[in-house]
Amino acid sequence: MLERLNKAMEHIERDLDQSIDVAGLARVAATSEYHLRRMFSALAGMPLSEYIRRRRLTVAGAEVLAGHESLLDIAVRYGYSSGEAFARAFRAMHGVGPGEARRTGTALISQPRLTFRLTIEGSSSMRYRVVDRAAFTVAGLKTRVPLVHAGPNQAIIDFIRGIEPRTLELLGELSDQEPQGIVAVCDDLDPSRAEGTELDYYHGVITSAAAPDGTTALPVPAGTWAVFTTSGPAPQAIQYLWRDVFTEWFPSNPYRSRPGPEILSTRLSPDKTEADAELWLPVERERG
């Protein structure tokens, strides 16, 4: 998978002064556009569109400083409809307009080319299993929250604090499938998985029963799931697990993520500083 991603990166470099067809990049990477965007964001820490924009403005910046062509010619070559649009984008990245940069020869910001490599940490291994599941329902309380990559998600904390204990008791009685008990479910994530983008968050249970009044039901179709387990400091161990699954497990296994909710079951220590967690991700086998 990493080899195919790197070929896609080469195509981006070749076409920085042209319209880049993301669907075409996905074909080079032998995957779908959805999976390419999701995998890239998980590995690179930024959306694919943002990387392309920053690479274009890096190369354009070098041409601005070289002074061989007019600023408008450079703007048009790199896909900007006007000199004003180019100047706004240039200033947003470099902190200075292209005209001033050319006059003063000021230092500019550079987005390096990305190359993906797999680094093996031999001291530990990832515990996982792959299971096929029949259709089920997530029943619980739902809200919309921002995505947080590191540290506590205050929006989720505040939401959970506002749930009546009796409501959680009633939901807990409906739990009749893995993972058991109250779970955290994330759905409708932005394909970029960028920090601050929003997602649907459910606090509820996996069940075959109908959702009680006052709660929300999320029907989940049958499919294959990869189940990962971890133990360690909360919430770092859980966030690191999410990161490692996308940056290490997917590139080295014959699976890719598919659309669907991501389910997390967590058991906290009495002082809430340590956690045992199980992460369920919807997956499908890579096509040969």
Sequence ranges of the chain with CATH classification 1.10.10.60: 2-104
* The pLDDT value given to residue 121: 47
Q: What is the pLDDT of residues 171-216, one digit of tens each?
A: 999 999 999 999 999 999 887 777 788 999 999 999 998 888 889 9
Q: Which residues contact 254 (CB under 8 A, 6 or more apart)?
A: 285, 286
Give the C-alpha separation, 237 to 128, whole Å. 15
Sequence ranges of the chain with CATH classification 3.20.80.10: 127-285
Assigned CATH class of 2-104 = mainly alpha
Give the C-alpha separation, 23 to 39, whole Å. 14
DSSP-derived 3-state class of residue 239: helix
Average pLDDT, the chain: 88
Q: What is the pLDDT of residues 119-159, one digit of tens each?
A: 544 334 468 888 999 999 999 999 999 988 777 889 999 99
Q: How is domain 127-285 classified at the architecture level of CATH?
A: Alpha-Beta Barrel (3.20)
Kindly indicate the confidence band of residue 113, based on its pLDDT and cuts at 50, 70 and 90: confident
* The pLDDT value given to residue 126: 61
Closest C-alpha to 7, from 18, 24, 19: 24
Kindly indicate the confidence band of residue 238, based on its pLDDT and cuts at 50, 70 and 90: confident
Q: Taking each helix axis from N to C terminus, what angle separates 48-66 and 33-44, rounded to the nearest 10 degrees?
A: 70
